[in-house]
Amino acid sequence: MKKLTRFTSLALALIMACSVTACSKDGSGTQSKAEEQSAASSADTSAKAEGKQKRVAVLLPGSTGYFVATKAGMDKAAKENNIKLEYSDAQWDATKQLSQVEDAITKGVDLIAVCAADADAIKPAIKSANDAGIPILAFTNAIGDDPSGKYEGLVSYVGQSEVATGALCAKIAKDMLGSKGGNIVLIEGRPGTYPQRYRRKGFTDAIKDTPNMKVVYTQTSNWEKEQALKITEDLIQKGTKFDLVFAQDDNSAIGAGKALKEAGLKDKVKVIGLGGSIDGLHALKDGVIDATTFMSAEEEGKLAIETASKSLNGEKVEPVTELKQVEVNGQNVDTFKGEW
């Protein structure tokens, strides 16, 4: 009797289940289109939720405002692609960054994304990652000597062509100085970094065909406003004659512009920055500098992680994913919004 009761209960349960299923179907006994789409969406969401989260080590060269915006873009892309980011800061120490690469390899991350503190010193780390079978890509600061940023052993380089950026600033300088030309002071970023080397190359190569324009002094400010201010003050005190300052970043441009303003020389000397920072755009509006350039740091960070995700998913990625700087001047400055 007990067996019969259990059998009857099971049969009733099956009948009820079939009845419920039938209610969710149209007259032909098939699911409606809306229900099929809903089921497919739920299955897709469930698959993504169950997918293994990839780990990407992000190695930054040092602290600057630019990387605050870059990280914002990276974090957004990581969330969208189910990736966990593990950040490290080399504090502008190339040796420390090499150790961070080794640590990432030891931890067994799925991919390494590196912004090199030194374009040459990082090279052994690329080989180490390749030997360990861990893909590695570069972003913002390229590696090696190829002006495009392409480097064997990298999944991709995501960033600007620094040579093209330097050439853009040379064009701006030519437009400012006109046919008369003039003497130029070049204030560079941190020595050994790819931007410092190739922004200079792009700029100096682009003015070679203009004999009346020449660089009369070059010095590094290490991307620091106060250092650039001191460099410019010293040049003024020494009586150095110059007509334009090209600084490889907005911070340095602002420092140079302030020194010139304090000396009453800003109306005689033009200042070009680079990067389109919040402070740089304000300085342009206030007349502290005369031009800068803009490229989205957030977009660069976002593209770096999206490229990493594609590579990890077995999709083809290009050896170089290039972003471009554009000129910002007094006429179009209001159309740009700084990110850092």
Q: Tell which wins on pLDDT, 1 or 129.
A: 129
Q: What pLDDT is recorded for position 25?
A: 41
Q: Tell which wins on pLDDT, 163 or 20.
A: 163
- Sequence-distant (6+) residues with CB within 8 A of 268 are 243
User: 135, 111 in Cβ contact below 8 A?
Assistant: yes
Q: What pLDDT is recorded for position 96?
A: 98
Look at residue 19 and tell me whether its pLDDT is greater than 60: no
Q: pLDDT tier at 26 (50, 70, 90 boundaries)?
A: very low
- Sequence-distant (6+) residues with CB within 8 A of 218 are 185, 186, 187, 188, 200
Q: What pLDDT is recorded for position 259?
A: 98
What's the token pair of residue 55? 């780990």
What's the token pair of residue 278? 């919040």
What percent of the chain stands above pLDDT 90? 81
> pLDDT tens digit string along 128-163?
999 999 999 999 999 988 888 999 999 999 999 999
Please give the sequence-ordered ranges of beta strands (E in DSSP) within the chain, or none if there are none.
Answer: 54-60, 83-89, 111-114, 136-139, 157-160, 182-188, 213-220, 244-247, 270-272, 292-294, 320-323, 326-328
Look at residue 113 and tell me whether its pLDDT is greater than 80: yes
Look at residue 316 and tell me whether its pLDDT is greater than 70: yes
- pLDDT mean over 95-123: 97
Q: pLDDT tier at 314 (50, 70, 90 boundaries)?
A: very high
Mean pLDDT for all residues in the chain: 88
Task: Identify the residue whose tokens are 């966990």.
Answer: 84
Q: What pLDDT is recorded for position 147?
A: 85
Q: pLDDT tier at 51 (50, 70, 90 boundaries)?
A: low
Q: Evaluate if pTM is beyond 0.85.
A: no
Please say whether the dihedral angle defined by the alpha carbons of residues 107, 100, 57 and 156, taken in this order, is positive or negative: negative
* Domain spans in the chain, listed from the N-terminal domain onward: 52-159+297-323, 163-296+329-335
Look at residue 271 and tell me whether its pLDDT is greater than 80: yes
Alpha helix segments (H runs only) across 31-64: 33-50
User: 247, 253 in Cβ contact below 8 A?
Assistant: yes
Q: How many CB atoms lie within 10 A of CB 327?
A: 17
Q: pLDDT tier at 192 (50, 70, 90 boundaries)?
A: confident
Q: What pLDDT is recorded for position 144?
A: 87
Phi, psi values for residue 166, rounded to 5°: -60, -40
So what CATH class is 163-296+329-335?
alpha beta
CA 51 – CA 83 distance, rounded (Å): 10
Q: pLDDT tier at 65 (50, 70, 90 boundaries)?
A: confident
Instruction: Select from 165, 138, 148 the least CA-distant residue to 60.
Output: 138
β pairing state of 83-89 and 320-323: unpaired
CA 97 – CA 65 distance, rounded (Å): 19
Eight-class DSSP state of 52: P
Q: May I ask the CATH architecture of the domain 52-159+297-323?
A: 3-Layer(aba) Sandwich (3.40)
Eight-class DSSP state of 182: E
- pLDDT mean over 226-250: 98
Per-residue burial over 157-194, b = 16 or more CB atoms within 10 Å of its CB, e = otherwise: bbbbbbbbbbbbbbebbbebbeeebbbbbbbbbbebbb
Q: What pLDDT is recorded for position 64?
A: 83
Task: Identify the residue whose tokens are 């000396």.
Answer: 263
What percent of the chain stands above pLDDT 70? 85
Look at residue 43 and tell me whether its pLDDT is greater than 50: no
